[in-house]
Structure 1
């Protein structure tokens, strides 16, 4: 694998994951009460706990994107 191929791979991986993150955030914010109510009933949780879990998931996913996709792409781009 060449350096250009790896750079392109990590670049597209970053773009795809960021699009998924934005879509998930838009759905959670747009359908917040409905989505948290549905999942709260499914798993027997309070709606506030479910909302907090959604936000924690978004934060963890964003951090994972930065660590495993964005930073390697930046490092390969700098090289």
Structure 2
């Protein structure tokens, strides 16, 4: 049976992994911007001018998801212990 400490550790590692993925995505989009825009515009049929705003929305939504589903439960469990 799991206890609060196990669940806290789980949410902590989920937060670390998801923040690492977010940093990786930001670095990848920053360093290889032209290449990624060309590939996505050809594959998805979206104009190159629309893609940067879509990338920004994706990263913003992902960050909000990390906050809501990983960090808030982790902090709440840390405060309970």
What residue in structure 1 maps to residue 54 of structure 2? 53
Q: TM-score, normalised by structure 2?
A: 0.93
CA-based RMSD of the aligned residues comes to 0.7
More helix by share: 1
- C-alpha deviations, 1:28-71, integer Å up to 9, x for none? 01111110121011111111211111111000000000000000
User: Which ranges of structure 2 fall in alignment gaps of 5 or more residues?
Assistant: none
User: Which ranges of structure 1 fall in alignment gaps of 5 or more residues?
Assistant: none
- 1:10 maps to 2:21: no
Number of corresponding residues: 79
Moved over 2 A (4+): none
Distance in 2 of aligned mates of 1:34 and 1:28: 9
